[in-house]
Amino acid sequence: MTQLNEEHFELHSANKAKRYPEQKIKYLEDRISKLERVLEDRISKLERVLESHAKCIGELRGTESRIHDLISLKGDNAQ
């Protein structure tokens, strides 16, 4: 069985101190990747919503134009 002496604990502490920055970098890289995916999903969703709104606005403008044309025709027929 390994004897747990001061040298063992010093080595353990040194290894832990050496791994900590690597683990922190890995954690931050994983976090950034997750945030990138979330942002890409949100951007994609916003693009779809904008396209949908643009389509609706286009349809409304067409409807408004047709209504205006009908009103002006009705006014011309009344005279």
Query: Which comes out higher in pLDDT, residue 78 or 66?
Result: 66
Q: State yes or no: pLDDT of 38 exceeds 60.
A: yes
pLDDT confidence bin for 63, thresholds 50/70/90: confident
pLDDT, average across residues 49-64: 90
Q: Inform me whether the pLDDT recorded for 73 exceeds 70.
A: yes
In the predicted model, what is the mean pLDDT of the chain? 88
pLDDT score of 2: 63
Token pair in block for residue 58: 């286009």
Phi, psi of 5 (to 5 degrees): -115, 180
Q: Could you tell me the pTM of the whole model?
A: 0.58
- The torsion angle over the Cα atoms of residues 17, 20, 25 and 31, rounded to 10 degrees, is -160
Length of the chain: 79
DSSP 1: -
10 Å CB burial of residue 14 (0-12, 13-18, 19+) is exposed
